[in-house]
Amino acid sequence: MTNANTEEYGRRTVLKQMAMVAGSAGLAPALLGAGSAAAQTPAAPHRGEETAHETERLAAYAVGLRYEDLPAPVIQRAKDCIADTVGAIVFGGELPWSKMIIAYARNNSGAGKSSILGTGGAPVRAGAAALANGAMTHAFELDSLTKPDSGAHPGATVFTAALAVAQDRGLSGRDVIAALVAGSEVMFRIGHATKHSNEERGFHAPGTTGPFGAAVATGHLMGFDAPKMTNALGIAGSCSAGLLEFAHAGNGAMVKRLHMGRAAESGILAASLAADGFTGPTSVLEGEYGFLRVFCNDFDMAELTRGLGSTYFTLDIELKRYACHIMAHNPVEAVLDLRDEHKFTAADVAGIDIAANERMVKTNNIPAPGDVMLAQYSVPFSVALALYRDPVDPRSFDESAVHDRAILDLASRTKLITVPGQDRRDLAVTVTVRLKDGRTPSRRVTSFKGTPERPLGRAELREKFLLLTKRLGDERMSPLFERLQNIENEKTLDWLNV
């Protein structure tokens, strides 16, 4: 079964479950009916055509989403994302750039009820906690994304905002799951509508889409009606930010970590203002001077509402195994598989060729990175490191690796080649290793372990969680993992304060 077929099969399975639930529970036909909600909803306009109030339709959908209506696979994917994010936060909290942001958040917040995780400090206000936790989640290239790529990071931007607000208001685990799903469903669709062309213009995609997801999650927890949610989205649009210069300047790379925290914080700001009656444009996404036309070279307006009410894009969330940019995951897995199959070592390698999309070749081709962030962002460096160190352990990507002559030498002999016509959202690669003995083993990888079609099992997710949180001890973190996997049974979340 191809990857596309596998993804579609998974979605069809969920739709069947939804239909059965609808039949037994009598769910509203606006969400589930004899025909799909997508079929009942007027088609959204394409670029250049008159709009059909996509922003308002997304807002109405989000406020109507309820935990009780969510299929079991969607709930589980959300819980996996939550546990994975908590692990990433705890690991990220020890890094120097995170400590700067944590200090700022604490120094500029009064006493509150929301925890900055992994630090042991007193609770702060929700916005400050979201800023710190969001930045910590993305502090070391460990956080969740989506496949197909939507340019969005749900754990770092949506969950961190939801957790902060839920703790502030004494809300439950079920409330957080529903808010995470609502925010993700909206944010992923916005991301797909950009066709990732916001990054072609130099914007860091998750910094631009994240405020929308965080605003929806926050508004959902605040019990918004559709007009208030529309205003929250309208305000969030003016908070979209994040530039890709960090990937090209060779310095100042800490700023990449900030983008997720600012997105989470901005979502809380947007929703909080909307709660008090502050307004934003009701056409913030589709308008002539709205998000898509201003931020993107190209876009597909129809993606904003595709499958809305009938398909859960939350099932597209993918979790990382390696502490490097998502572009490097397929190449790293390919080279490790080839090494295991053909029994070679790094010393046996004359060179490596990686055939991939143009985006990877242009953005992630950094054979001699100047710092840790750029090393993680670099496909040649990450692939070379994988043959010298264990890429599963994020501690392999430390400062010493950036100056390791053997890794740098192999990275310089790792070439990225553009595959003509390959879509920039298609991360499939073909890796060919040129060995000194003349052999040229090759492998194509379309989906690494952790993608929706090859998800991490519970034991694998637990292993990653304990690896990321080992400084706090397995005897403490193992029970926490189990509690996070049963978070729907928690009445409040004040206990989540590691």
Tokens found for residue 467: 């690896």
On the CB side of 374, how many CA atoms lie within 13 Å of its CA? 22
Does residue 199 share a domain with residue 166? yes
Indicate whether 189 and 74 sit together in one domain.
Answer: yes
**Cα gap 165→217, rounded to integer Å:** 9
Closest C-alpha among 350, 348, 352, 375 to residue 364: 375
CA distances from 207 to 80, 303, 344 (A): 22, 19, 40
pLDDT 10s digits, 207-228 = 999 999 999 999 999 999 999 9
DSSP state of 457: P
pLDDT at 413: 98
Do residue 303 and residue 370 come from a single domain?
no
In a shared domain, residues 177 and 237:
yes
* pLDDT for position 34: 30
Per-residue tokens: 242: 């994040």
Residue 480 domain flag = no
Same domain, 310 and 355: no
As a whole number of angstroms, the distance between CA 140 and CA 92 comes to 6
pLDDT recorded at residue 24: 33
Single residue among 292, 318, 344 that ends a domain in this structure:
318
**AA identity, residue 65:** L
Do 338 and 254 reside in the same domain of the chain? Answer: no
Asked if residue 465 lies in contact with residue 84, where contact means CB atoms within 8 angstroms, the answer is yes
Domain match, 344 and 243 both: no
194 inside domain: yes
Amino acid at 482: E
466 within some domain = no
479, part of any domain: no
Specify whether 314 is located in the same domain as 344: no
Residues 312 and 345 in one domain: no
Q: Considering 295, 318, 341, which residue would you say is the last residue of a domain?
A: 318
CATH of the domain at 163: 1.10.4100.10
Domain of 426 in residue numbering reads as 326-445
Asked, for residue 470, whether it belongs to a domain, the answer is no
Asked if residue 9 is part of any domain, the answer here is yes
Give every residue of the chain whose pLDDT is below 70, as ranges. 1-52, 252
Q: In this structure, are 285 and 376 located in the same domain?
A: no
| 485 falls within a domain | no
Tell me the pairing of strands 349-356 and 145-146: unpaired
How confident is the model at residue 91, as a pLDDT? 98
Strands 429-435 and 111-114, by their bridges, are unpaired
- Residue 436 contacts by C-beta under 8 Å, 6 or more apart in sequence? 348, 349, 350
Residue 401 CA, chain-centre distance (Å), reads 26
Give the span between the Cα atoms of 172 and 447, in whole angstroms.
34
Domain boundary residue among 291, 318, 345?
A: 318
| pLDDT at residue 190, rounded to an integer | 98
Task: Check residue 17 and give its pLDDT.
Answer: 41
Tally the domains of the chain: 2
DSSP labels for 386-437? Answer: HTTS-TTSGGGSSHHHHT-HHHHHHHHTEEEEE-TT--TT---EEEEEEETT
Residues 6+ apart with CB under 8 A from 174: 67, 488
Nearest to 217, CA basis, from 259, 168, 161: 161
Check whether residue 262 and residue 200 sit in a common domain: yes
292 and 393 belong to one structural domain: no
In a domain, 467, yes or no: no
Omega within 30 of 0 (cis) for the link into 148: yes
Domain CATH code at residue 439? 3.30.1330.120
